[in-house]
Amino acid sequence: MPETKKIKLGIIGCGKHCGAHLVALQELSHLYEITALCDIDPTRIETTAQTLANSSQIFQTTDYQKLIDNPNVEAIIIVTQTVTHLEIIEYAIQGQKPALTEKPLGINLEQVDKIIQLALTRGSLVMPALEYRHSAAFGNLYNYIQSNKMQGTQFISCSELRDNFFLPWFYDSRLSGGAVNDKLIHIIDLITIIFSPSRPIGVYALGSQDRFKTGSKIEGLFEQEHDLDYNDTVDNAMIIIEFQDGKKANIAFNMTHQMPVEGMSITVTGTNGHYCKIDNLDTSDLIFSHNFDGVVGSYQLDSPDDIDINGILHPGTKRMYQLFAQMLAKDDKKACNWRQIRDAHSITMATKLSIEESRRVDIESEFFNPEIENLLSEFDKPVEVNYPEYPLIPIHTNSKKILRRNWLRILRHLPLAKRIKSEKNILRLNQDNISQLITILTQSSAYNLDKKQDLILQMNLPYSSIFINIQDGDIKITKRLLNSNTPKINFSLNESGYINFATGMSINRLYVTKQLQVSGDVQVAREYQHFFSDLLAEIRQLIKVQK
């Protein structure tokens, strides 16, 4: 497949998670063209198609096999319930169609092993969507560890303190594999990479259903979504993982937090007692720190492309899709180290079993599969891994740019009031207060607006429609469109989205739950991502609950 040719993609699954993938794919429109959509619900297919520029030309079907068989589809993206991954991947491999599939691979280790076996014996490209391993943050962490400043690794301590699931089916382990399998696979994947080639040998875990029980009403971020008819998965867990060579990892997991959540963190301790860590790994407030040579250094990444600026993507999503395109261009069939992928899934499955049976689970003996071990032996050889590294900016610098960013970070972490039941406590935006925010933001030269293409940002809100006209670095706020020939980005929030945005819901949640619609010239708007990020942060502070 020539590198200059756009890859024709078919997407299987047009539900709420599909939206996040579309954001990345639309920003990589020079690499990909979406030619087919599939979902069991025709309405979701049509809704998704309408967000694409070539909607009238897209093949639409409720049968995933017809999508895979379509000659105008060269590769597929699987965004369906976990329990369906195996059958879709198996059919894709039969049809010689490369696949990128949502994590986790399967609901149990039998499904995972079958997928690995198919990928390795049939010579097909299957890439798990484990975005965090491709993120700039993890790249910096991994490179720091490999620099030998820590003289090897000994302990890893992690936490993921988050809100509840998007959709009710995640609470059914028969469909998702359970909370640990679905949510912690990301952070466990990073642990296996850091400790490699040491392998996991045992797990002991405790967990429970503290709030999310069968028949309960979830009073969290998505309470409008969930009345649990069935739930057999935990909402909290404490996990200890033993590795070879005396290495150990622990994870604190809790899904009952209200917004804003702390998110994901990971601390790696070396054999010499030095550490490096990442806090807020899945947010734009990410902090990288270490204590090398008796000095604690704290840094922010210098705004790489794949950082989660507004909560729209997992960090690493864009780079993952870029790598997928490279593998397709080179006809590379080995998308990852399948040994690490299998070990990560073994840990999630062992954790679930340990919680259910209140005992230590011996991974080496209980999850041993001689046929899979034979296939994975080729991945036991040490291989040099190259991760990109991004500049680090000390947090305590006097740079106006960083001071501004840190101030916004503090604002975003101020305690928010309880969820609003009425719009009465939400300030309505108008031309005047938007103009005041723009004036504040443009006092900083960090955005370099005069060096960017002209753009019109149209903000459609429940109470008003405002045009932000940016031309030659100058900004005008109007109630009408000044120049229809200028590239335009449309940002629309419905009424519930406006209230949820004011009370702390992330841009990602708003987007995938269809409360936020974004359309227009995404490539041009990409140049303004830092300006938009700060503008949205300022708007949230302006309109949130009035004391």
pLDDT in tens, 471-519: 877 888 877 766 667 888 888 887 777 777 877 777 766 776 667 877 7
411-428 in b/e burial notation, b at 16+ Cβ within 10 A? ebeeebeebbeeeebbee
For residue 137, what pLDDT is reported?
Answer: 87
User: Would 327 be classed as within a structural domain?
Assistant: no
pLDDT band for position 448 (cuts 50, 70, 90)? confident
The radius of gyration computed from the CA coordinates of the chain, to the nearest angstrom, equals: 23
Higher pLDDT, 354 or 261: 354
pLDDT band for position 419 (cuts 50, 70, 90)? very low
For residue 544, what pLDDT is reported?
Answer: 64
User: Would 113 be classed as within a structural domain?
Assistant: yes
* Distance, CA of 332 to CA of 21 (rounded, Å): 22
Domain boundary among the residues 130, 145, 173 is at 130
Q: Which residues contact 164 (CB under 8 A, 6 or more apart)?
A: 212, 218, 220, 221, 222, 226, 235, 255, 256
For residue 416, what pLDDT is reported?
Answer: 33
pLDDT band for position 32 (cuts 50, 70, 90)? very high
| Beta strands 392-394; 455-460: pairing state | unpaired
| pTM confidence score | 0.74
Look at residues 276, 281, 280 and name the one whose alpha carbon lies nearest to residue 297: 276
Per-residue pLDDT for 140 more than 60? yes
Q: What is the mean pLDDT of the chain?
A: 82
The number of distinct structural domains making up the chain is 3
Domain boundary among the residues 110, 130, 150 is at 130
Considering the domain architecture, whether residues 443 and 538 belong to the same structural domain is answered as: yes
Range of the domain at 152: 133-312+334-364
Considering the domain architecture, whether residues 148 and 263 belong to the same structural domain is answered as: yes
Please spell the DSSP secondary structure of 114-146, one letter per residue.
Answer: HHHHHHHHTT--EEEE-GGGGSHHHHHHHHHHH
For residue 1, what pLDDT is reported?
Answer: 47
* Distance, CA of 268 to CA of 277 (rounded, Å): 6
User: Would 328 be classed as within a structural domain?
Assistant: no
For residue 547, what pLDDT is reported?
Answer: 40
For residue 421, what pLDDT is reported?
Answer: 38
For residue 113, what pLDDT is reported?
Answer: 98
For residue 224, what pLDDT is reported?
Answer: 43
Model confidence pLDDT, tens digit, residues 171-201 = 788 888 888 999 999 999 999 999 999 999 9
For residues 272-289, give the mean pLDDT.
84
For residue 310, what pLDDT is reported?
Answer: 43
* Distance, CA of 20 to CA of 51 (rounded, Å): 12
Considering the domain architecture, whether residues 419 and 479 belong to the same structural domain is answered as: yes
Considering the domain architecture, whether residues 208 and 90 belong to the same structural domain is answered as: no
For residue 225, what pLDDT is reported?
Answer: 46
CATH code for the domain of 276? 3.30.360.10
Considering the domain architecture, whether residues 107 and 168 belong to the same structural domain is answered as: no
Report which secondary-structure segment, H or E, holds 160: strand 153-161
Model confidence pLDDT, tens digit, residues 425-444 = 566 677 777 777 777 777 66
User: Would 372 be classed as within a structural domain?
Assistant: no
Look at residues 251, 467, 265 and name the one whose alpha carbon lies nearest to residue 348: 251
Model confidence pLDDT, tens digit, residues 387-404 = 777 778 787 644 455 545
Considering the domain architecture, whether residues 164 and 299 belong to the same structural domain is answered as: yes
Considering the domain architecture, whether residues 239 and 142 belong to the same structural domain is answered as: yes
* Distance, CA of 429 to CA of 536 (rounded, Å): 12
Considering the domain architecture, whether residues 56 and 78 belong to the same structural domain is answered as: yes
Q: Is residue 517 a contact partner of residue 484, using CB atoms and an 8 Å limit? A: no
User: Would 407 be classed as within a structural domain?
Assistant: yes
For residue 133, what pLDDT is reported?
Answer: 92
258 DSSP 8-state letter: P
For residue 33, what pLDDT is reported?
Answer: 95
Per-residue pLDDT for 85 more than 60? yes
Q: Count CB atoms within 10 A of the CB of residue 506.
A: 22
User: Would 390 be classed as within a structural domain?
Assistant: no
pLDDT band for position 534 (cuts 50, 70, 90)? confident
For residues 376-381, give the mean pLDDT.
86
* Distance, CA of 127 to CA of 323 (rounded, Å): 10
For residue 414, what pLDDT is reported?
Answer: 39
CA 401 to chain centre: 26
Considering the domain architecture, whether residues 435 and 534 belong to the same structural domain is answered as: yes
User: Would 423 be classed as within a structural domain?
Assistant: yes
pLDDT band for position 216 (cuts 50, 70, 90)? low
Model confidence pLDDT, tens digit, residues 33-75 = 999 999 999 988 988 888 888 888 999 999 999 999 999 999 9
Per-residue pLDDT for 164 more than 80? no
pLDDT band for position 446 (cuts 50, 70, 90)? low
Considering the domain architecture, whether residues 96 and 197 belong to the same structural domain is answered as: no
